[in-house]
Amino acid sequence: MADIDDGFDSYYAERLWQLLPAVYRTADTDGTAGPLRELANRIGAQVAVVRRSMDRLWADQSIETCDDWVIPYLGDLLGTSLIAGLGARAQRLDVAKTIHYRRRKGTVAIAEELALDVTGWTAHAVEGFRRLGRTRHGLDPAIGPGAYPQASAADVAELLLIEGLAGPLTSGLAGGFADLRAAHGAALAGTPFGESFHTADMRAGRGAVGHAGLAKLLVFVWRLISFPVVAGTPVAVAGCPGQYVFDPTGRQIPLFLPPPPAREDFGASWTSAREWQVPGPLTSSLEAAMSGRGTAGTASRVYPADLPPRYRLSPGWQLTSVWPDIGRFAAAAGDPPPEPLTVGYQYGFPSLIGAGPYDRDLRSGRPSAVPPEMAVSGGTALPALPAAGTVTIGDSLTYQTLADAGSTADPIVELVVRAGPGVRPVLRPPPGPAGRGQWVFTGGAGARLVLDGLTVSGCDIVLRGAFDTVRLTACTIDPGTAQPGAAQPGAAQPGAAQPGAGQPGAAQPATAQPGAEALATAADGVPLAPCRIFIEADPAAPASAQIGQLLVDHCILGPVRTRSGGSVGTLTVTDSIVQGLRATGGTSFTDADVFDPRLLARGLAAGRGSPADPVSEALLDAMSPAAAAAVLTYAGRSSPGQPGATFPLDGLNALVDGPSLYPAAGFTTVSLSAGVLALAAQAEAGTIEPGRLQWLNRALIEESFPVALGVAALAVADAAVRLTRVTVLGRIAAHRLSASDSILAGFAAVDDVQDGCVRFSAYTDGSAIPRQYACAAIAPGAPVFTSESYGQPGFGQLTEAADAAITGGAAGASIVSGAESGSEMGAFCADLNPVRERGLLAKYAEYMPLGLEPVIVHVT
């Protein structure tokens, strides 16, 4: 079939049909086309293919205009060694520049140009011998005043700078001692732009070691992408008048430098990138140097006066101070009062995932509009949403008022709520008197809902009633941020290596203090709580409660859960990050810890059924008679989850504060995580610490009722979950599971382990999952990510030592290169970063001087 309707198919089919004798055409056609006409149509379609191929012959002569399938053939004519696994862009550049590369083979410029062409990353190449502190010999150029005996001291300094024999910031001479008087120059030690010198490091170049050496070429690469926010709404800092944070969710995040303009000339006029020309983090030291503060003399050569602006404030506002390391600034308003304050800045992230000011067609695709269309801009309030139509938000401002969509009487039919091209609107309602709000979408039979390009923070999304399809593309549903050092599920057990916090599925650390805050707070004092997606039945129409398909594509999500009779047939998540954090502190249960009171009550009441559930029966028997009766009374109501009906928690909290609940026979039907089993073994042996017994009891209750009570990233009853290139930071509780190229960094408990498959993925050791193929098991809570805090540039990015967390699985399994495509597992698998890096090393072997060893250093 043709990609475009060029008319060739119908033209040649008609020509062939007219060539047939009329007697056969008449016999074949009797009101409708017969088999002879169908045969002519199919032959005509193939003739059209041949015609298109002939028309493309001229275009296929050139690498710039040829089809992708022609690239290897043109490369073979030039003897180009194409790298398998790279995309068409990199292969096309490789062939187009083959002669260019060969003419400049062995130069530093080629090292940087190859890195940009093959990987798309900005690179800065440094010859290792130039960073060595060593005794100079007769072949070295002279340094110091004796280098140019006829020149003045100022001219000597200038010439040494030009030759690269003196640092422009510190004025330190090659191979000499470090000059610490220049603050920013000293801060650059060990970075790509450092001016200090090192003793020889004979180790193989890898990570942060093995850099300084005669035969090493250091290629520093910036993998994170710097995204621009043109005009966002800052958040005022509580208690600090006139101070704001750039991030519209109230987080203090590091700012980034803007990406450099595209370079077209790496030839005779090439110069290596400067510190301000790479898309890296913007530090306070660099900001001071670029602003002309704290530098003197030759620094003006490094930081010219006409640098592009790094921040943009709305007219009438003046920037008075900025702290780029934490994304905070101070501004003053002019007189007369200006328009509302907006800011423009750059932030970093590993990939085109989640809401962002990028072209979404590159990844997830933009959803088709549904008439009628409504355009929204200006911030503050989002108008009432129609039951059918498209709402397009055309700016990156913050909207604090949200209106629900649909109702039982007028449910959603087909609704699209999307961000405009290149913008990132933020929906952040303030907390109300009753706590965090909800954004409710009520659907009916056959309803369709699409949310595209939105950032939602500060409220839950409730999908109520029945939907045929709900699709989320390129959205960020704020997963929350844990308080540093707070009690989060998944921490290490006593005596084990301390992993990063934030992995549901194991018991709490001994350092957790009852009542301690589990969540960090935004600059305005609002807790950074996870925004959850709840799937629930419509109380007025409980029979229509299922979502046929929930499709998530290129998103960053908080927990996805079912409650109050809601269900989803198939939950499909692709190229996304899903995180589940504990939102409350302490060991006692609160109303906020009960996600589905109706399901919890029914689960406990099963202990008095026939046959009785052994775990529920044991829990009810351990309660006081009055507490057990209150639970059974609550379960006997027709609608236990109705407003005003509060689940009786006294019985559960008494169990938490009581003796150990772990008799081995009582929990044989429950899938318990490795951390809980370790604590239970300590409890049986009588060696458990007193402060941890409460955590054990609470974890046992939570893991016995994971959908109703447990902290999880995915807790969906009776659902088939399909994950492809997904990073799950939290527990999974599902009926069926299929996963490919994913990381399940939390305990997973699947009801039907006979169905589905987990392939080319990493999973937490001890999880109850279907059969595995080419998988790696990792320790619970293992530190495999650069950061697990949303808002940080390295959120969800694998560390270089992630494979050290592997405890079992298939032989030779790898997290950083174990996906089916040879890429890394998890949400950034489709970026093919390991494949691109291996391709770059292969090209270096072809174009670098003999005897040099390339060392790729990941700056970000």
Give dist(CA 720, CA 572) in Å, integer. 8
Instruction: For strands 225-232 and 343-349, give the pairing.
Output: antiparallel
Burial class (CB in 10 A: 0-12, 13-18, 19+), 422: middle
Looking at 67-175, list the stretches that DSSP marks H as alpha helix, in order from N- to C-terminal side: 71-78, 88-96, 98-103, 108-119, 153-162
List the structure tokens of 581. 């954090």
For residue 734, give every residue at least 6 positions away whose Cβ sits within 8 Å of its Cβ, in sequence order, or none: 571, 714, 715, 716, 719, 720, 721, 748, 750, 751
For residue 342, give every residue at least 6 positions away whose Cβ sits within 8 Å of its Cβ, in sequence order, or none: 231, 232, 233, 234, 313, 314, 397
**CB 515 within 8 Å of CB 552:** no
| CA proximity to 668, closest of 630, 710, 614 | 614
pLDDT at 267: 60
Give dist(CA 537, CA 552) in Å, integer. 20
Residues 193-223 have pLDDT tens digits of 888 888 887 787 777 777 877 888 888 889 9
Give dist(CA 491, CA 502) in Å, integer. 7
Q: Across the beta sheet with 312-313, what order do the strands follow?
A: 225-232, 343-349, 312-313
How many C-beta atoms lie closer than 10 Å to residue 50's C-beta?
A: 11
Phi-psi region of 175 (alpha: psi -120 to 50; beta: other; left: phi over 0): left
Give dist(CA 43, CA 448) in Å, integer. 40
List the structure tokens of 555. 């998103």
Q: For 453-500, where are the E strands, in sequence order? A: 455-456, 459-465, 467-473, 476-477
pLDDT at 337: 67
How many C-beta atoms lie closer than 10 Å to residue 389's C-beta?
A: 17
- Please tell me what DSSP assigns to residue 847: H
For residue 414, give every residue at least 6 positions away whose Cβ sits within 8 Å of its Cβ, in sequence order, or none: 370, 388, 389, 447, 448, 449
pLDDT at 500: 35
Give dist(CA 207, CA 202) in Å, integer. 14
For residue 171, give every residue at least 6 positions away whose Cβ sits within 8 Å of its Cβ, in sequence order, or none: 157, 179, 182, 297, 298
- Residue 821's alpha-carbon distances to 232, 818, 831, 857, in angstroms, are 38, 8, 11, 23
pLDDT at 265: 59
pLDDT at 722: 95
Give dist(CA 456, CA 408) in Å, integer. 24
> Where do we find the tokens 């004798």?
21
- Please tell me what DSSP assigns to residue 528: -
Cis status of the peptide bond prior to 514, with omega within 30 of 0: no
For residue 100, give every residue at least 6 positions away whose Cβ sits within 8 Å of its Cβ, in sequence order, or none: none
Give dist(CA 19, CA 768) in Å, integer. 66
- Please tell me what DSSP assigns to residue 424: -
For residue 638, give every residue at least 6 positions away whose Cβ sits within 8 Å of its Cβ, in sequence order, or none: none
**CB 627 within 8 Å of CB 607:** no
Give dist(CA 353, CA 359) in Å, integer. 11
Burial class (CB in 10 A: 0-12, 13-18, 19+), 847: middle
Residue 693's SS3 state is: helix
Q: For 176-234, where are the E strands, in sequence order? A: 216-222, 225-232
> Which helix (DSSP H) or strand (DSSP E) does residue 23 occupy?
helix 22-28
Identity of residue 84: A
Give dist(CA 194, CA 130) in Å, integer. 11
How many C-beta atoms lie closer than 10 Å to residue 34's C-beta?
A: 14
Residues in the chain: 860
The parts of the chain modelled with pLDDT lower than 70 are: 1-4, 31, 144-147, 162, 262-269, 293-301, 337, 362-366, 432-435, 485-517, 542-545, 638-645, 665
Of the chain, the end-to-end C-alpha distance in Å amounts to 44
Give dist(CA 131, CA 195) in Å, integer. 8
Helix and strand numbers (H, E) in the chain are 18, 37
Beta partners for residue 443, in sequence order: 412, 465
Burial class (CB in 10 A: 0-12, 13-18, 19+), 343: buried
- pTM score above 0.75: yes
Give dist(CA 270, CA 265) in Å, integer. 7
Looking at 197-344, list the stretches that DSSP marks H as alpha helix, in order from N- to C-terminal side: 284-290, 299-302
Identity of residue 149: P
